């Protein structure tokens, strides 16, 4: 039982040299995860060190920064100024536009496939493109045309593929090649390093002009109005509020109250686009697939939507979703059954801590297997299936 609760993985680079801090731990039980992340959250809020400087990266990102004043400032800014419901409402016209883009793209591809007597194409690319369009708009405040969106997506993909091949701890062939002896890395892995720097430079070439446009627009807005941001019309191509706008307002008190540099904002924009694209589009694809497989659940959800919105209303509003408990249950069940990632981002113990009777030493890397938690048959009825026509994911009592 104990080994099912907390698995100590023998990735023993540290043990071979007597360093406890290099121990890697995998948590597979939800009770232990809750104790570690919620009850002892501050002690586990740090991130494992990565070789940022070699790749032209600073520590000013949310997902890779060490826990401290800068991390708290960036995290608070993202949540309060972009993801808070009062701010999310400002992007309602953007979401309406993206829904239309997605519907038109799916309809056009289906018609083309039917004309050629071919099977309909996979929907994943359409979901991913639509989600990326929305995130680009939320990030930069500009509704860009398809070539511009595709160029940014290509730059993002190039950077992510480089990271996956060269710095991910889970890629056996190239395990963290930049983590050992940075001075030697510059010589031995010069080609790979140049590839990474080129990928990062390509992002900056695309992002910095958009950041500059936000800066000019913000200055003009303050000069002309000085008022709060309001939601634009659906057909508007420029938004008064964006993620970059919030970054332009940030000052770092620990560093002389300075502003974020363009490089730091570029890294944060890359992080913003990465965090929401594949995760959301993957979840959407699986939820739609499960609804197709379970017509009873599909009918129940459709009935709830019609009962809430009526026959005349064209689209579901943000306020409507709060009145749909079954819609929420479907989304949560989709995330339980098909989590977009099987692990959350790695954490690092900032101090020695005890969780579930185990000592996690300072500096140890801790991973949480969210997929295993969602599929635990001790916790869930029909853990590897979906309950059609009922509230999904009912827990065992």
pLDDT digits (tens, 9 = 90+) for 145-182: 999 999 999 999 998 888 777 654 333 333 455 555 55
How many CB atoms sit inside 10 A of residue 348's CB?
A: 19
How many CB atoms sit inside 10 A of residue 175's CB?
A: 15
pLDDT digits (tens, 9 = 90+) for 348-395: 898 888 888 888 888 888 999 999 999 988 888 877 776 554 454 455
Q: Are 396 and 381 in contact (CB under 8 A)?
A: yes
* Residue position matching structure tokens 């991913």: 128
How far is CA 326 from its chain centroid? 24
In a domain, residue 101? The reply is: yes
Bridge partners, residue 347, by sequence: 366
DSSP per position, 9-22? E--THHHHTT-GGG
CATH code for position 140 = 1.10.630.10
| CB hemisphere CA count around 221 (13 angstroms) | 15
- Distance between CA atoms of 132 and 152, rounded to whole angstroms? 9
| Tokens at 213, concatenated | 């446009």
- Per-residue pLDDT at 285: 92
In a domain, residue 69? The reply is: yes
Cα-atom radius of gyration of the chain, to the nearest Å? 23
Whether the pLDDT of residue 14 is over 70: the answer is: no
In a domain, residue 64? The reply is: yes
Full-model pTM: 0.83
Q: Are 373 and 29 in contact (CB under 8 A)?
A: yes
- Distance between CA atoms of 160 and 200, rounded to whole angstroms? 10
In a domain, residue 387? The reply is: no
Q: DSSP class of residue 81? A: I
In a domain, residue 20? The reply is: no
Whether the pLDDT of residue 63 is over 80: the answer is: yes
In a domain, residue 194? The reply is: yes
Task: Look at 354 and 221; give whichever has higher pLDDT.
Answer: 354
In a domain, residue 383? The reply is: no
Of 55, 65, 51, 137, which is closest to residue 96 (Cα–Cα)? 137
Q: Are 27 and 40 in contact (CB under 8 A)?
A: no
Residue range of the domain that includes 253:
51-275
- Distance between CA atoms of 7 and 38, rounded to whole angstroms? 19
| Tokens at 368, concatenated | 């949480």
- Per-residue pLDDT at 180: 54
Residue-averaged pLDDT of the chain:
82
- Per-residue pLDDT at 11: 44
- Per-residue pLDDT at 164: 74
- Distance between CA atoms of 80 and 59, rounded to whole angstroms? 21
Domain count for the chain, please give it.
1
In a domain, residue 328? The reply is: no
pLDDT digits (tens, 9 = 90+) for 332-342: 999 999 999 89
Q: Please classify residue 222 by burial: count the beta carbons closer than 10 Å to its beta carbon, then call 0-12 exposed, 13-18 middle and 19+ buried.
A: exposed
Can you list the positions of beta strands (E) in the chain? 6-9, 24-27, 251-252, 258-259, 347-348, 353-355, 358-360, 365-368
Whether the pLDDT of residue 33 is over 60: the answer is: yes
């Amino acid at each position: 039982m104990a080994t099912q609760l907390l698995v100590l993985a023998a990735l023993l680079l540290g043990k071979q040299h007597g360093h406890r801090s290099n121990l890697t731990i995998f948590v597979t039980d939800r009770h232990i995860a809750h104790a570690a992340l919620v009850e002892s959250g501050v002690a586990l809020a740090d991130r494992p060190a990565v070789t940022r400087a070699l790749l032209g990266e600073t520590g000013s990102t949310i997902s890779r920064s060490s826990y401290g004043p800068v991390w708290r400032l960036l995290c608070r800014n993202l949540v309060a100024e972009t993801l808070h419901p009062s701010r999310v409402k400002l992007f309602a016209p953007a979401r309406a536009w993206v829904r239309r883009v997605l519907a038109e793209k799916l309809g056009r591809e289906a018609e083309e496939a039917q004309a050629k007597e071919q099977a309909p194409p996979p929907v994943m690319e359409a979901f991913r493109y639509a989600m990326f369009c929305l995130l680009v708009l939320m990030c930069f405040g500009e509704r860009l045309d398809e070539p511009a969106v595709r160029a940014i997506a290509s730059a993002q993909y190039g950077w992510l593929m480089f990271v996956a091949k060269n710095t991910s701890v889970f890629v056996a062939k190239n395990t963290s090649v930049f983590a050992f002896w940075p001075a030697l890395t510059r010589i031995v892995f010069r080609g790979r390093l140049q590839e990474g720097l080129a990928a990062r430079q390509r992002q900056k070439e695309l992002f910095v002009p958009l950041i500059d446009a936000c800066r000019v627009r913000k200055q003009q807005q303050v000069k002309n109005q000085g008022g709060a941001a309001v939601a634009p019309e659906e057909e508007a191509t420029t938004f008064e509020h964006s993620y970059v706008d919030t970054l332009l307002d940030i000052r770092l008190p620990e560093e002389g109250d300075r502003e974020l540099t363009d490089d730091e904002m570029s890294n944060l924009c890359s992080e913003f686009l990465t965090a929401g694209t594949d995760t959301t589009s993957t979840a959407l694809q699986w939820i739609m697939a499960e609804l197709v497989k379970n017509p009873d659940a599909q009918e129940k959800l459709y009935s709830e939507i019609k009962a809430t919105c009526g026959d005349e209303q064209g689209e579901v509003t943000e306020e409507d979703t709060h009145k749909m408990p079954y819609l929420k249950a479907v989304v949560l069940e989709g995330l339980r059954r098909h989590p977009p990632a099987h692990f959350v981002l790695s954490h690092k113990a900032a101090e020695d801590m005890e969780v579930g009777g185990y000592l996690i030493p300072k500096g140890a890397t801790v991973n949480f297997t969210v997929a295993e938690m969602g599929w635990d048959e001790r916790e869930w009825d029909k853990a590897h299936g979906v309950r059609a026509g009922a509230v999904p994911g009912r827990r065992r009592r």
